[in-house]
A and B are shown apart, each in its own frame.
Chain A
Amino acid sequence: MKKKLPDELELARDLLDKQVVDRDETKMGRVDGLVLELREGKPPRVDHLEMGSAVLARCIHPRVESWVDALRRRIGVQKTGRYRVPWAAVQEIVPYQVKLDVKAAETPAFAWEHWLRDHVIAHIPRGLKGKAN
């Protein structure tokens, strides 16, 4: 798949907190964190993107992250609060979104989305589902 990436990237401005979409332009989440690889004698490079509640919780405070982790273990919908996106999956970076070469439904990013769809929305009576045309 042909990649459309700019020549230069300002991490905080062009990557962090950007909307993430999948192959079909479905919104998946936001770039909540970046992990850089530190190499001896060479400049650091972006190893992978991170998305998820654990990442956001850590932004607030590491202790908040442990509370969120404990909560997630209790509720158990997501296996992990930290979805790692390898750099190789990044297909396109434009001013308003980052496009990944994945399908949202197959990633942990949609864990809650699917759970709510299957356990809550599915129970809403048939006649009320869907948009009236």
Chain B
Amino acid sequence: MQAAGWVFAMRSSISQGAPLFGALALAATLCLACASKSPQEKLLDATKPAASWIATLRMTGERWNANSVPASFVKATAGKAVDELGAVAEEAGKSPVPPEVRLPLQRLMTAARAAGSGLERAVEAGDRPAAARQVARLAALEGELAAWRSGQKGRAP
């Protein structure tokens, strides 16, 4: 019976295959984890989503000014952004990199969070000029973060 032979093949592939996949997956994870990163590289990695969130805040502000997104969206997005930027600031604070490297980053994160909260307040008040000011501030911070990152990339091995 053809079916019986295939059934056996399937059953043994399930019972043998699963642990095999597990072993391969574990091996792959360990091999790649062995190529660990320096604290500098880790911090650099953490700033990529931060740059993304600052850019998000900026675009959200711009779009609100252009009447493309509602105030509730700005509020939700700003809230999320402020949280994420705070997490990056925390990571910077814990990082063993020298102070001249992490302090500017922490300042940037604090400034970005302030701009995000400022944007939220401006939008709640319906204040377009104030929102535009925060957007300009965020654009400047984007540039500063990009400069910090390229500086770090130059230094990293």
Listed in ascending order, the chain A residues whose CB lies under 8 Å from chain B are 10, 12-13
Contact = CB atoms under 8 A, between A and B. Distances in A.
B135 to A, nearest CB: 50
Interface of B: 1, 3-4
Contacts of B4: 12
Closest 6 CB pairs of A and B: A13-B3, A13-B1, A12-B1, A10-B1, A12-B4, A12-B3
Contacts of A13: 1, 3
A10 B4 CA distance: 11
* Majority SS at the chain B contact face: helix
Nearest to B2: A13
A111 to B, nearest CB: 30
A13 B4 CA distance: 9
A12 B7 CA distance: 11
A17 to B, nearest CB: 10
A13 B3 CA distance: 7
Nearest to A16: B3
B133 to A, nearest CB: 54
A127 to B, nearest CB: 34
Contacts of B3: 12-13
A13 B6 CA distance: 12
A84 to B, nearest CB: 25
A13 B1 CA distance: 8
Contacts of A10: 1
A12 B3 CA distance: 9
A10 B3 CA distance: 11
6 contacts: A10-B1, A12-B1, A12-B3, A12-B4, A13-B1, A13-B3
A107 B3 CA distance: 31
A46 B1 CA distance: 19
